[in-house]
Copies of this chain bind each other. A is one copy, B any other.
Amino acid sequence: MLDKSKRVLIVGLGLLGGRYAIGLTKAGFAVDAINRSEGPIRYALDEGYIQRGATHDFEPLIREAGYVVFGLYPTTLLDWVEQYGHLFRPGCLITDVSGVKTGLVDKVQALLPEGVEFIGSHPMAGKEVSGVQNAHMVDFAPANFIVTPTERNTQAGVDFAWELAETLGFGHITTLTPAEHDHMIGYVSQLTHAIAVSLMCAEDNGSLAEYTGDSFRDLTRIARINDKMWAELFLWNKDHLIGQIDQFTATLNTLRQHLVEDDRDSLEAMFRLSTQRRAVFDKKQ
């Protein structure tokens, strides 16, 4: 079990960092936070999400931390670790919330001093909103939590991430390699966002809004997207994502070819395959 005598430090107090602070404070931990701007720190102090917060002169918070959670975008995370990673105390256990893992987890691990362990993890609980002021609306209970250990991780490190997820109330916790994680997330999250964005950008469709039913709204709900965060995620995972876009485009082109050739049987066969595969998802919901 996690040790409540250790202080928790959240670095990056956004939507997820804020939600971790809420959950861990409620669970009885002493939580501190570091953030670039003052507003979120002030908000979290006022709401009782954290005990202490800082935008600068935060070395004491780092040195006193037993558990650390990075709530930063991957590029910012790497920069931060390069600059401040040497300040962590040996024995410190660290994780993150990043939506990509390959090229991030191994680099962070290589940058940290001996005895400081970083274990990658990904709480799959994004929302269309952002910021610590919306953190209380994030529900972890139905969400997936993925732990992505490497050869450098110890059982204690894996246990830390796993128990953190349990403490925060995640409904489904699993372990994947960073590469498996990035393949999976490319397919189930980034490809779907690429499709939704393309559907909105393909045509100036505002005049069609009055006619759209549930299907169009379902497909494009996620087209309202945080531009900075998703550009970051897409580019970090571009190798997987490009391959998956190609695979999807090839399939859509097959369907198109059935139309060109008036091939009703092949069209119906695709519809049956799709229906059969989608049914599996309803069962597992």
- A interface residues, Cβ below 8 angstroms from B: 124-126, 143-144, 146, 172, 174, 184-185, 187-189, 191-206, 208-213, 215-228, 230-231, 234-235, 238, 241-242, 244-256, 259-260, 262, 264, 267-275, 277-282, 284-285
Query: Assuming A204-B277, A242-B259, what are 9 further A-B pairs, CB within 8 angstroms?
Result: A189-B215, A199-B248, A210-B284, A219-B219, A221-B278, A227-B267, A227-B268, A227-B271, A227-B275
Q: Taking CB as reference atom, which chain B residue is nearest A185?
A: B211
* Distance to closest chain B CB from A8 (angstroms): 26
Choose one: B174, B216, B231, B269; the contact of A189 (CB below 8 Å).
B216
Q: Which residues from chain B contact A241 at a C-beta distance below 8 Å? A: 259
Cross-chain contact A146 with B211 (CB below 8 angstroms): yes
Q: In the bound complex, how far is the Cα of B231 from the Cα of A271, in angstroms?
A: 8
A274, B225: Cβ atoms closer than 8 Å? yes
Which residue among A126, A222, A223, A278 has the maximum number of chain B CB atoms within 10 Å of its CB?
A278
Question: What residues of B have a CB within 8 angstroms of the CB of A251 in the complex?
Answer: 198-199, 201-202
B252 in contact with A235 (CB, 8 Å): no
- Complex CA gap A213/B146 in Å reads 13
Q: A195-B219, A215-B222, A275-B223 are in contact. Are A188 and B202 (CB under 8 A)?
A: no
Instruction: Report chain B residues within 8 Å CB of A174.
Output: 210-211
CB–CB A211/B235 < 8 A: no
B188→A280 contact, CB < 8 A: no
List of B residues within 8 angstroms of A230 by Cβ? 267, 271
User: Which B residues are CB-close (under 8 A) to A281?
Assistant: 209, 212, 216-217, 220
Query: Are B188 and A224 in contact (CB-based, < 8 A)?
Result: no
* Residues of chain B contacted by A284 (CB below 8 angstroms): 209-210
